[in-house]
Structure 1
Amino acid sequence: MLLKFLHILLYLTLYGAAYTKLSDDSLRALPDPGSDFDIHSGALLSPILIPRVSGTPNSTLVLEHFVNFFKTNLPDWHLEFQNSTQTPPAPYDKPTPFVNLIAARDPPWAADGDASRLTLVAHYDSKVTPEGFIGAVDSAAPCAMLLHTARSVDAALTKKWGQMKAQGLAEGGSLEEERGVQIILLDGEEAFVSWTDTDSTYGARSLADSWETVIHPATSNFPNPISSISLFVLLDLLGSKNPTVPSYYKTTHWAYQSMASIEDRLRKLQQFKSSPNHPSKRSVSSRDSKARNQPRKEPMFLPEAEKVNNFFLGGRIGDDHVPFIERGVEVLHMIPNPFPKVWHQPDDDGDHLDIDTVEDWAKLVTAFTGEWMELEGFFDTSAASKRDFYEEDEQLANVISRTEL
């Protein structure tokens, strides 16, 4: 047992050293969602943009949307439900079901309890009040981002693990080889009356309690599902324009820095649609060519990469990560500060989302997952090269046609 503990400790210590950055070609190759984030007809987002209070028929509809997405698009992902029944305070004081969905993909040779898991999390329930509340940033859009991320890395995971198996690297017993990813869609984050330790995070508290008591086989790398979480990345309140997300925890600042570095690179590669320097945001008129060629200041989503150790907020924001961080799980909390203006307001709906920002968050989380899962060289870059060629050709044609005018 001591030897296994030391093995795990060494793995956690060296985890950052194994982190391989994606190449520029891979970043350019990250899939765009197309129309999937259209608020009226988008296959990923629009089915979530309904009131979905825990325990209601609409909550079930949204859960079915998630399940159908994985079963139809990602059949290699293992789906698991974690259920509980809890009683909110009056006047909603009746037993209410809460259903968490866990979608996981581990290396095909990994035994139960052997794979560490990058854990990407959002809650899918919406607030009871105001009546008809949609909760687009809170948190329909983050849920759709995670669906996009899962689909975007799936083929690369298959390719990587297939190559490892063909090269005889699959079953050597190394923790580094047994790295998986899971997406948790949590129910019951919202308070029914007012936020307290007992009237909030119903699903998260139940899942953390449950996973702490699940016992993996004695020969497993990790004794229970809680200990197998390599990083808990919680997305919340994302989808409004110009968010600023601080680095909340000193122990995961290195992961924040990694994601901030990816953001910076994506912006420089003009892959962020919300960027003022994205081609779609710049005039191609010959009359302002000087202004067109002058880079504009980038409003970074993650502005605190250079933060020093004495200025961390710590656990000031209550959210679904709290039951996990209390059990020693490392957390990267992706929540803006200040909160979006639409927070808990009637206008937190699809019409008030900034879709360019939603797509950029989806791309950023996908890239972070790709780096964490060591997927460099496994994304299909041919389509990106072809797309860039035609985009440049089209922009050149626009310049020529407008200059002729």
Structure 2
Amino acid sequence: MLPPNLLPTTLLATLPFWLPLTTAYTPLSESFLRAIPSPGDAFSIETTTTTTNTSLLAPLLIPRVPGTPGQQAAQAHLFNFFTTNLPAWNLTWQNSTSTTPATGSRQIPFANLIARRDPPWTKAGETNFLTLVAHYDSKLTPEGFIGATDSAAPCAILMWTAQVVDKYLTQMYDEMSALGEGGELAMDMGLQILFLDGEEAFVQWTDTDSLYGSRSLANQWSLSANPLPQQKFYKYRNPLSQISLFVLLDLLGEKGSKVPSYMPTTHWAYVALATVESRLRQLNLLETSSSSSSSSSSSQPTKNAPEDENDPSFLPDLNSTTASAKRAGISDDHLPFIHRGVETLHLIPKPFPNVWHTMEDDGAHLDLATVRDWARVMVGFVGEWLDLMEVWTEPEAEGEGTTTA
């Protein structure tokens, strides 16, 4: 990704004015928020202990340049996670090749992994997807670059989110199927996760030397017509129109980083996410809520210290009435989708982490408390979006049904 720059006014003019979903958006109860587990060792960075076999993060802390064995290892890790732990998810690869300024005429392979959890009663093209996105490739230079914040940690966060919410989705889909529900736009909600390849430039960021995977996928989906539904009303014309919200995670995992609200048309979604974070902090469920708590692998100070060091919030624009960053967008994997009218919530810090595009962007420089907390916040947001309170059973209050003298 590139540092902040002004998005073209022509792009802004073409964006439709989206409104929040008209379906019910039920906040998670306090008990549900308390039940969101900590990822714990799932985000271990160790590669020499038994936790490597279960860590979602450690296998990604390697160079993952497209066209190299590291890329193939990352692909195998992502694919095997779903096939082993989440067999109900549908997995597909969207493949492409391209030349790059660094490789001349040699075609480099790019592969996007698409993981989908559809309601079982829907047919192709009938599900609206909350779509969570991160890129899994790393830069060619400097040689050996890992990219822990960029974007191994975001990928691990999305894997953890899928694992936690899957059991609730399964229960909700089973109950709805038993009741004969579904078949309406508001009810046909699913979760889609995109692990995108080729985000990084091989030499220098340009329109053609960057976003290889996202450009290919967005273009293919824009040209792929969905089957016409048998119902009288028209649903989604192509896979792009099935995306209810495109949530892109990037550069997450540094202590103290702040993510502003970039898009006026999705500020309402930003506020919903920030509200989840705020409630988790109020309940003291986030490790970073305490200024003295940190399980970072590094104790080095942060050069880009936040304006208010006493405020641990990741999302500072909770109480803003509109996006604070306004037109100061950042070039990233959302651009090929937003150019085609897809609603986007961009979760990327501003300023970028101190380790951005340096050899220090490795596991040792991640703040693991921050990574774990982002995972909990994302689980809460997804739970509310998919209305998982429908299948949540509130625990009985202590002493309920008993009498005392």
Where does 1:302-313 land on structure 2 (aligned, <5 Å)?
302-309=315-322, 311-313=324-326
Amino acid at match of 2:203: V
Moved more, 110-119 or 158-167: 158-167
Alignment counterpart, residue 115 of structure 1, candidates 127, 133, 136: 127
Please say if 1:225 is aligned against 2:235.
no
Amino acid at match of 1:169: E
Deviation at 1:375, TM superposition (A): 0.3
**1:316 and 1:167, CA in 2 relative to 1: closer, same or farther beyond 3 A?**
same
1:29, 1:381 within 8 Å by CA — same for their partners in 2?
Answer: no
What 5-or-longer segments of structure 2 have no aligned partner?
Answer: 1-17, 47-51, 296-308, 399-405
Deviation at 1:66, TM superposition (A): 0.7
- TM-score of the aligned structures, taking structure 1 as reference length: 0.84
**1:347 and 1:380, CA in 2 relative to 1: closer, same or farther beyond 3 A?**
farther
Alignment counterpart, residue 108 of structure 2, candidates 96, 113, 117: 96
User: How far apart, CA to CA, are the structure 1 residues paired with 2:219 and 2:328?
Assistant: 20
Task: Give the secondary-structure state (helix, strand or coil) at the position aligned to 2:351.
Answer: coil
2:261, 2:323 within 8 Å by CA — same for their partners in 1?
Answer: no
Task: Give the secondary-structure state (helix, strand or coil) at the position aligned to 2:132.
Answer: strand
Deviation at 1:380, TM superposition (A): 7.2
Amino acid at match of 2:282: K
Task: Give the secondary-structure state (helix, strand or coil) at the position aligned to 2:93.
Answer: strand
**1:54 and 1:385, CA in 2 relative to 1: closer, same or farther beyond 3 A?**
farther
**1:16 and 1:135, CA in 2 relative to 1: closer, same or farther beyond 3 A?**
farther
**RMSD across aligned positions (CA):** 2.2
Deviation at 1:265, TM superposition (A): 0.2
Alignment counterpart, residue 344 of structure 1, candidates 354, 357, 362: 357
User: How far apart, CA to CA, are the structure 2 residues paired with 1:14 and 1:195?
Assistant: 34
User: How far apart, CA to CA, are the structure 1 residues paired with 2:260 and 2:27?
Assistant: 22
Where does 1:211-290 land on structure 2 (aligned, <5 Å)?
211-219=221-229, 221-276=235-290
User: How far apart, CA to CA, are the structure 2 residues paired with 1:379 and 1:298?
Assistant: 31
- TM-score of the aligned structures, taking structure 2 as reference length: 0.84
Amino acid at match of 1:111: K
Please say if 1:318 is aligned against 2:331.
yes
Please say if 1:125 is aligned against 2:131.
no
Alignment counterpart, residue 88 of structure 2, candidates 47, 55, 76: 76
Please say if 1:29 is aligned against 2:39.
no
1:285 corresponds to: none
1:400 corresponds to: none
1:153 corresponds to: 165
Instruction: Name the structure with the higher helix share.
Output: 1
Q: Percent identity?
A: 53
Give a deviation string over 1:308-345, Cα, whole Å, max 9, x none.
44844336210000000000000000000000000001
Amino acid at match of 1:183: I
2:196, 2:214 within 8 Å by CA — same for their partners in 1?
Answer: yes
Task: Give the secondary-structure state (helix, strand or coil) at the position aligned to 2:143.
Answer: coil
Moved more, 38-47 or 208-217: 38-47
2:196 corresponds to: 186
1:141, 1:238 within 8 Å by CA — same for their partners in 2?
Answer: yes
What 5-or-longer segments of structure 1 have no aligned partner?
Answer: 1-11, 282-295, 387-405
Deviation at 1:34, TM superposition (A): 2.3
2:212 corresponds to: 202
2:150 corresponds to: 138
**1:352 and 1:311, CA in 2 relative to 1: closer, same or farther beyond 3 A?**
closer
1:329 corresponds to: 342
Give a deviation string over 1:329-372, Cα, whole Å, max 9, x none.
00000000000000001000000000000000011111101000
Alignment counterpart, residue 26 of structure 2, candidates 20, 38, 43: 20
User: How far apart, CA to CA, are the structure 1 residues paired with 2:353 and 2:59?
Assistant: 22
Amino acid at match of 2:192: Q
Give a deviation string over 1:204-227, Cα, whole Å, max 9, x none.
000000000111112261010001
